[in-house]
Amino acid sequence: MGRRLVLFYAVFGMLVGFFAAGCGGSSSSSSIKVAITAPASAPTIEQGQTVNVVATVTSSNNSTVTPNVTWALYGSGCTGASCGSLTNLTPTSITYNAPASVSSNLTVSVTATSVENPLKSASINITVAAIAVTIQNEVTELAAGSGNFFAATFIASVQNDPTSSGVTWSLTSNGAACAPGCGTLSLANTYSVNYTPPPNVPAAPANMPTITATSVTNTAHSDTDKFTIFDGSAACGTGGNESLLNGQYAILLQGWMGRGTGTPILFGASFGAGGTGKITGGADQFNPLLNHSESGVSLIPSASSYSE
């Protein structure tokens, strides 16, 4: 009887040890936690740039776990190479490489999955920002005429361009080049260009040209401004109450140009009104970007008018 009891307790002890070990292993696996520790928050990068992603694997009950993870890349609205790629693979880190070009903002997810427990994973979203081109000082009308005072400077801003290459400029009407009939472009650089209107209003459709700023880095991104060329000397006809405006006057305008928060501008002018819809003289001062100003620019009576 005693020998049977000894054998029973020996077998019972082995079973208890076996189940204890089994429960311990299961508990260790189920207590695994995966976290993305770098970058600290979801980043936004430019096309062609990279982000290093690091994952850690821990256990909530302080048991020993395998730190290795597997990596995966998922994208919304993209497949394969258009989502980017993963390189520099290690058991706990990876490098995400953004596509060289994106047509619009792209958001992808990089996911780390525990090797020991594939049910445990963590992800981080990465946004690849597309290039955005904006003509800041859009206009709706420009007067025909000759002389320096009729020229206008167009300025473009380019966001999310990793090469900072700026833009190229073009002047068209109905999609076809129209210079010099619709005006001319000169002194073009990566972010600005001068437009000079023709001396007289051209026939349609050249009287409504479009100036376009196109990204050098990605020509799929551009901005346009379509405006009307008008006869400045006859812009405002008579027949109203023009006689009410007769004498010397001053104007002060403050505001913003462009989109979003815009760029602050200040315009001041003094002028003489003849009481018949014509400007008799005056001068203005204009600082479109605060760090650039023109002062004492004379008004041209033959190309100026008003109506009441």
State the residue for tokens 């109905």: 174
On whether the CB atoms of residues 70 and 113 are closer than 8 A, the answer is yes
Peptide bond preceding 209: is omega within 30 degrees of 0, i.e. cis? no
Are residues 41 and 113 located together in one domain of the fold? yes
For the ranges 14-23, 232-241, 268-277, 298-307, the lowest mean pLDDT is seen at 14-23
Can you give the residue range of the structural domain that contains 216? 131-231
Tens-place pLDDT, residues 41-78:
999 999 999 999 999 999 988 888 999 999 999 998 89
* Residue 45 resides in a domain: yes
83-101 residue pLDDT tens: 999 999 999 999 999 999 8
Q: 12-16 contacts: CB < 8 A, separation 24 or more?
A: none
Note the pLDDT of residue 6: 38
Question: 125 with 29, same domain?
Answer: yes
User: Does 227 reside within a domain?
Assistant: yes
**Domain final residue pick, 173, 198, 231:** 231
- Of the three residues 200, 231, 262, the one that is the final residue of a domain is 231
Our count of domains for the chain comes to: 3
Q: What CA–CA distances, in Å, run from 226 to 183, 202, 209, 249, 274? A: 13, 15, 6, 32, 33
Last residue of a domain, one of 129, 155, 180: 129
For the residues 187-200, what does the mean pLDDT come to?
93
Are 156 and 124 found together in one domain?
no
Q: Sheet containing 222-226: give its strands across.
A: 176-177, 167-173, 210-215, 222-226
CA distances 243 to 4, 239, 247, 275, 278, Å, are 127, 10, 10, 4, 10
Q: Give the pLDDT confidence score for residue 294 in this predicted structure.
A: 54
Calpha distance 229→207 (Å, rounded)? 5
